[in-house]
Amino acid sequence: MLTVAFMAPNAVQLFGMGAKRYRAPRTPMRRTLKRLERAGYLERVSSERTAWEYRLTEKGRELLKRREIESIKIVKPAHWDGKWRIVVFDIPENFRHARDVFRKKLRDLGFRYVNLSVWICPYECQDEINAVSAYYKVGKYVRYIRTDYFDGMEQAKEKFGLQ
């Protein structure tokens, strides 16, 4: 509810609460805001004791970005377009942690690996790959390829359950 309030202040009306003048219980809401403020995710904008104006801190924005990356999914279309998406990367050893979490995210998105730095997926996902590689700051080491043929394509079709 708090995230919705930050992103869309009038969202309460969308949930049908606007007509009844919905009021969130003050004590639990204040407690939550104070907890987020103590954790460093929010900062109070107004110095007035009764003000409810808060702003996300840099730490809060980073948390939202991380949650957004964690929730990214590839949309599976009704019909496969016959194209393969190949992600190739050569992330240096000094970015080992980023390379490992990038590889894990590819697996979570439904990619299958050809080898440790070549991954395939049959569905459009360029925006998702760009977002993930930018978040982990490895974008300059990652290449996205769209093709209609590669050696081993028949085995990949079986793995993904495609005709």
How large a percentage of the chain has pLDDT more than 90?
66
Tokens of 71: 């929730």
Q: What is the pTM of this model?
A: 0.72
Give the helix, strand, coil percentages of the chain, each rounded to 5: 45, 15, 40
Reply yes or no on whether the pLDDT at 92 is more than 80: yes
Reply yes or no on whether the pLDDT at 11 is more than 50: no
Q: How far is CA 47 from CA 44, 50, 54, 86, in A?
A: 7, 9, 10, 52
In tens, the pLDDT along 105-137 reads 999 999 999 988 999 999 999 999 999 999 999
Reply yes or no on whether the pLDDT at 14 is more than 60: no
Same domain for 43 and 101, yes or no, is no
Reply yes or no on whether the pLDDT at 85 is more than 70: yes
Name beta bridge partners: 84.
147
Q: Is 14 part of any domain?
A: yes
- DSSP letter, residue 113: E
Question: Are 120 and 85 contacting, i.e. CB atoms less than 8 angstroms apart?
Answer: yes
- Residue that is last in its domain, among 70, 100, 122: 70
Q: Is 12 part of any domain?
A: yes
The pLDDT score that the predictor gives to residue 47 is 76
The residue range of the domain holding 42 is: 2-70
The pLDDT score that the predictor gives to residue 8 is 52
Closest by CA position to 91, among listed 79, 75, 102, 80: 102
In tens, the pLDDT along 40-53 reads 999 988 877 767 78
